[in-house]
A and B are shown apart, each in its own frame.
Chain A
Amino acid sequence: MTLGTAAGAPEGAPARGRGGRLPGVGRAAARFVAPGTAVVYLSLLVLIPIAAVAANAFGDGWSGFWGSVHNPESWAALKLTIVSALVVVVINTIAGTAIAWVLVRDEFPGKRIVASVVDLPFALPTIVAGLTLLSLYGPDSPFHLNAAGTRFGVWLALAFVTLPFSVRAVQPVLAELDRDAEEAASSLGANSATVLRRIVLPSLAPAMLSGAMLAFARAMGEYGSLVFISGDKPFSTEVASLRIFNLYESSQSTSPAAALSLALLLISLVVLLVFGALRRRLARPEVTL
């Protein structure tokens, strides 16, 4: 999956499409039908509903919007969500890069299984992820580590679901990395820490940022894995998505839930834009998951 790459045909590819050979009306139809269908599908499914959230958020005007977002419980939920997402993204960017390094540069029996394990949190239903972590780090923990209802539990769940993004963003770039520069540096007397800091990390930085972007976006909105392990305690472990659900369930109007939804969405998009700009400054990589 590529996020934030430019659209359009590759260089040198002709603009004329497959419909280009059709005469007259047929050509016009073929030219507009395909993009039209795609746009209508996307609009009905994604764009119009998102617009409805934005419109509903301002159902009671600007003061209604700000009142809903700045309500103490919602505000605490937003802060918790942002802080938790940042904590987990930092941890997983480091851990994910280390895992990618081991997957690319190290050789050991069973490496392919480890590579599949990395994809597991992506494919595992979030509710299963939550129950899974709860069975090990919950009240019945065999290690006597009860993280249920604590912020540590929230971070654990977020670390679980965002891990694949951090690893898969770095891994292909690391695999393509030219090792000549590293060998040259070490033959000139640089120790491995210097090689890592001066040569490897600068080349990996854009990919690490891409992974961080995806992981951050995922962590900001995560719901399923947090429902049970977080304990859903207001002011303590109630993240924004849980707060939105509770507002939707408990209040007569949908506006408070929509307002917090819009705030969450805008914060995610702003952070993604900042990360994207930062990444473009560092380089222009293609990142795929």
Chain B
Amino acid sequence: MKRLLGRYGLRTAVLGYLALLVVVPVGAIAYRAFASGFVTAWRNLANPDGASTSGFVHALVLTLVVALIAVPLNAVFGVVAALVLARRRFPGAALLDAAIDLPVAVSPVVVGLALVLVYGRAGWFGGWLARQGIQVIFSIPGIVMASAFVSIPYVTRAVLPVLQEIGTEQEQAAATLGAGPWQIFWRVTLPSIRWGLAYGVTLTTARVLGEYGALSIVAGNVVGHTQTLTLYVGYLFDESDTAGADFGAFILAAITLAVLALLSISKAEKGSPPWRSRFGRSRSDLAVSSLSTTSP
């Protein structure tokens, strides 16, 4: 009886904490976004000043463009770094490993400041870049760099454990049978790490779409020019356009929910071995299935 009471008590306490901290606030923003009706909310968001130019659409497009550059860059870096850390021994490997985690411990504001100090007009490389006619800060390259900075660790951290677990037997078998390094990568390594990679890419995307602090320094926050979705929502709130800000926040929250759905799918798949590769029942499939019997 006492046990049962404890169990239900704990469950209630936990669900209550989650509800008050997470569920009810997120529900409240959805409610408020639509409190004045969908059409009004949309109109508020698209034309906060009643002007014809649409800050929201521009912000949405800019956010997507930034994500389409920053996420693939970090995906490639993440896989290369994970391969290097898992398969090579070289001086400084431990340093590289630690440096990849560094962005987690850096405040977004410091990220923005750091990039300005190197790539800004008065920065270390800023003068040289300006002479080449390249503007980084207050422009898209700076926004991409800030987004890439904050999201660096996720692909490596998702792929590295998978690489360490699968080992190198399959790759060596492929090499013995005459496959070149690229062939091995595309046909053996990539199919084995794909769900780990998918998980890492989803986390990276979530982080890139949501960045605010670093961008508020690097982007310059010019309406309709260097404003991403998060900056636009913050700007609307600053301008006391709470209805517009609430609706913008709701759109971002909806995108987040989609990302979470992808996360739970890739997390579930990451655990199970990749039975079917795109290339049919190949050697790698057999090797993977034999592997899965040894490690649960």
Contact = CB atoms under 8 A, between A and B. Distances in A.
A binds B: yes
Interface of A: 1-10, 12-15, 17-22, 30-31, 34-35, 37-39, 41-42, 45-50, 52-53, 56, 95, 98-99, 101-102, 106, 108, 112, 114-128, 131-133, 135-137, 142, 156, 159-160, 163, 192, 214, 217-218, 220-224, 227-228, 240-242, 244-245, 248, 254, 257-258, 261, 264-265, 268-269, 272, 286, 288-289
Contact of A123 (B94, B165, B210): B210
Given A245-B217, A264-B107, A264-B110, 10 more contacts: A2-B160, A4-B101, A8-B89, A9-B88, A39-B96, A46-B99, A52-B114, A124-B26, A126-B210, A286-B161
Quick one: which of B103, B116, B165, B184 has the most chain A CB within 10 A?
B116
A224 B230 contact: yes
A257 B114 CA distance: 10
A18 B110 contact: no
Interface residues of B, number: 103
Contact of B25 (A5, A42, A132): A132
- Interface of A: prevailing SS: helix
Contacts of B60: none
Quick one: which of A95, A125, A264 has the most chain B CB within 10 A?
A125
- Interface of B: prevailing SS: helix
Given A52-B124, A136-B28, A42 B152 contact: yes
Given A223-B213, A241-B108, A261-B107, A254 B85 contact: no
B185 A18 contact: yes
Contacts of A192: 3, 6
Interface string B111-122: 101111111000
B264 A116 contact: yes
Quick one: which of B26, B101, B115, B124 has the most chain A CB within 10 A?
B26
5 contacts: A9-B86, A42-B99, A126-B210, A128-B249, A241-B107
B181 A21 contact: yes
Quick one: which of B3, B15, B110, B249 has the most chain A CB within 10 A?
B110
